[in-house]
Structures are given as C-alpha cells and as structure tokens.
Amino acid sequence: MGSITRSLANNITTSGVILPAGITNSSVSAVTSFANASGGTLILLSTQTASNSATISFTSGLNSTYDAYEFKFIDIAPRTDNVDFTFNMSTDSGSNYNVTKTTTFFNAYHDEADTSTSLGYQGGNDLAQSTAFHIIATAMGNVSDESTAGNLQIFNPSSATYVKHFISTMTKNSYNNYCINDFTAGYGNTTSAVNAIQFKMSSGNFDGIIKLYGLKKS
C-alpha cells in the first residue's frame, strides 16, 4: 500500500465519508472532471480566445446536462473604435444564428472628468421579435485601456417547452472615456432547443477570452 493510499484510507470514517485531510493534490491528480461532485456551483466547460477574430462560436456544451449556463467575458477588446458587442442564438448547431428575440436594455455611466452621469433605459438597443444580433455592450473603444468584461447567463436552453431567457451585465471603459455598466435581458422566443451561441462586434474583429460554464444542478 503506497503512502497516498494509506493517507486516504486513514481519513475515511466508518460511514465511508472521506475527511478533508484525505483530499490532496496528489490523491486527486488523475481526476479530470468534478461535474458530479458536490461543492462547486459553476463547472468550466470550455474556453475560447479571440485573436483578431470576426466571431467566436460555441457549438458544443449547451445541452440538457445543466439547467443554466454562464459565459464570462475577460478583456474583450475590439479592433474598431466605437462598436458594440453582440450575440445571437442557434437552434441548428450553428448553421444559422437567427433566433427571434425580445429584449430590454438600460445602463449607468460616469465620465472620467466627473462632469456627466446618467442611469436610464436605452430603447434604441432593444429588440422586439427580431432575429438580429442583440447588443450586450455598447460604445466600445479600441485602445489598450478600453476593454470590456462581464457575463451572460442563459436558462434551460435545451427546453422543448419554454422560451430561452437570458440576462447580461457588462462593464467597460468606453471609447470616449466613460465608465459604462450595461444591463440587458430578454428571451429567445423559441421552444426549440438552443444548442449554439455566437459572439461578434457590430463591426470589425476583436480580441479577448470567453469562458463557458454550466450551473450545477442541485
């Protein structure tokens, strides 16, 4: 019996529960997935890195395994100045990104000079039964200190009964030196399973990291 096995055996209770002392980097080094383990809520499914990319598409991982999914955006930076970050959904594994959506959009902003602030509804960024790409971050700049970060959650995308609700929160230093917090929500008006999602700028290419997580079922 090796030392790792002995340590693990010595930390198992009579009811079969492994004590914290039995879990070490060595004892779990061969584990590749904790999807069925208790504890953590978000399970990292995949990561994509945009490098002067026109689009980033997630065509796998969105299924019935989880009730909700979350995308995290890290330093999303457009190559074109004053553009918007957008997304759309697909029901045919990415052949078409054209799900009909109804959405709402509001934001809060404050400029670096401390001369302009606002919190309000932005009706021009809404969609009403439209298949267009939906804006989740506006007025993005293309210099090094003007990246964007945030998240997008989509709920029960594999449902064959309900529409596909989503919520997004993004923050950025805009092209004109405003701190802007964008809040958007809506639904894909389809009872078909959504199984792919694509992200792109309203114009031009972009850089950054996008991570897809599954929200562990209780």
pLDDT in tens, 68-78: 999 999 999 99
Instruction: Enter the tokens of residue 44.
Output: 């990292």
Q: What's the DSSP call for residue 19?
A: P
Cα–Cα distances in angstroms (integers) from residue 152 to residues 23, 41, 79, 155, 163, in the given order: 33, 16, 22, 10, 16
**C-alpha closest to that of 188 among 213, 212, 158:** 158
pLDDT at residue number 5: 64
Count other Cβ atoms within 10 Å, centred on residue 38: 6
Write the pLDDT tens digit of every residue in 31-42: 655 555 545 589
Is residue 85 within 8 Å of 148, Cβ to Cβ?
A: yes
d(CA 64, CA 165): 15
Instruction: Enter the tokens of residue 102.
Output: 């109804």
Q: Which residue has the tokens 């019935």?
A: 64
**C-alpha closest to that of 108 among 150, 170, 154:** 170
Torsion angle, CA of 212/215/216/218, rounded to 10 degrees? Answer: -170
DSSP symbols for 54-96: SEEEE-SS-STT-SEEEEEEEEEEESSSSEEEEEEEESSTTS-
Mean pLDDT of the chain: 90
59 pLDDT exceeds 90?
yes
d(CA 121, CA 161): 30
Instruction: Enter the tokens of residue 207.
Output: 């850089």
The amino acid that residue 151 corresponds to is: N
pLDDT at residue number 70: 98
- What does the pLDDT average to over 169-177? 95
Domain 40-215: which topology? Jelly Rolls (2.60.120)
pLDDT at residue number 184: 98
Could you give phi then psi for residue 91, rounded to 5 degrees? -110, 5
16 pLDDT exceeds 80?
no
Contacts of 132 (CB under 8 A, 6+ apart): 88, 101
Q: Distance between alpha carbon 108 and the CA centroid of its chain, in Å?
A: 21
178 pLDDT exceeds 90?
yes
pLDDT at residue number 63: 95
Which band of pLDDT confidence, cut at 50, 70 and 90, is reported for residue 27? low
In the chain, where are the structural domains located? 1-30, 40-215
Write the pLDDT tens digit of every residue in 105-134: 999 999 999 999 999 999 999 999 999 999
